[in-house]
Amino acid sequence: MNFETSVLHKKNKTERTIISKVTPIYQTSAFAFNDLDELEGFYQGNGNYLYSRVGNPNTDELGELIARLEGAPAGAAASSGLSAILAGVLAVVKSGDHIVAADDLYGGSFHLIKEELTQLGIEVTVVSFSDAAQVEGAIQENTKLIYSESITNPLLRVENLEEVVRLAQKHHLVSLIDNTFATPYHCQPYLKGIDLVVHSATKYIGGHSDITAGVLAGDEELVGKARGKIVNLGANLSPFEAWLTCRGAKTLALRMKQQSANANRVAGALKQNKEVKKVYYPYQHGEEGFGAIVTIELTDSADVNEFFKGLGWIKIVPTLAGVETSVSHPLITSHRALPPEACRELGITKQVVRISIGIEHADDIIAQLNEAINRSLG
């Protein structure tokens, strides 16, 4: 071989015989074949990988991991939580079909279904899922999907999954639940009868604020259709992002246990602060905490801008999760896309603050939040 060729190639093909403890990163855009028969075999269903948009060992590992944690038979990874939601929705509905969705979804999800999907000819009705009669009353002849969140963002309403399953089965609908806030550590919607479960793995699955990813788990046929949408819409996750997400997920149980216990303590402490008008936290669902988010509504006498200026070491971040405590303002970040009247009806006001609790010592988190509240009073 000449130099220019030997820089790129060995004379003989490499046999992959090394077995590593951790799955390697298959950072490749495509996979090689020994001959045309082997290549044709892929298209006949006898091969695993062709092109990383179509499939990759790292993205498959992530899908399989979340399926296992959710108790579901299949899973698929996507480039973000919204990509996973979109793939799940489009696996079920098409132009002319109808969706019934909760009115208190995450703002990005709300925008996706109310703005983007309606442009594709998909009808959407949003109603309060606190009232089963309203949900059932919104179901039409062309309804195909019912969609909510296990714990809603940002006011932390815990969904009645049994009621969602009952309505879906009664009316022959597919049910989709976003399980991002609860994670499989606290809740496994598929085991309760939900058909599709979605995660923004960017949040607690990855857990370290260094990836953007989404995962869908559920019935094999539905996940297969969703995987096809991910491939054909180019919503695939990169191998490295998938590898990082799987690495982060290994500590999910440890992180959620600590963060949920911290959140329980923080919520309890903030309830004692007379300048906190309301604390949103699902106390009744877990003695040691149920999720790592605490949302508060400050009194009208508190200056929200000053509160955020007084957060000290706590970061202001327009998202959530990760191992560090952070704080966001839902009205101007996560729920910015909602119409003002919708925010008012839900109770998402200027005084509402969402706190993503980390793994620090709970006493330090409480002290810093109380300091910020004191500053907000002038």
Please give the positions annotated as active site: 53, 106, 178, 203
Distance CA 334, CA 109 (A): 10
Helices (H) and strands (E) in the chain, counts: 15, 12
Q: Over 145-184, what HEC string results?
A: EEEEECECCCCCCECCHHHHHHHHHHCCCEEEEECCCCHH
CB 51 within 8 A of CB 194: no
Encoded tokens for 243: 């590898």
Q: Is 333 exposed, middle or buried (0-12, 13-18, 19+ CB in 10 A)?
A: middle
Question: Among residues 298, 334, 342, 295, which one has the least CA distance to residue 317?
Answer: 334
Distance CA 363, CA 365 (A): 5
Distance CA 22, CA 27 (A): 15
Residue with tokens 């399989």: 64
CB 183 within 8 A of CB 197: no
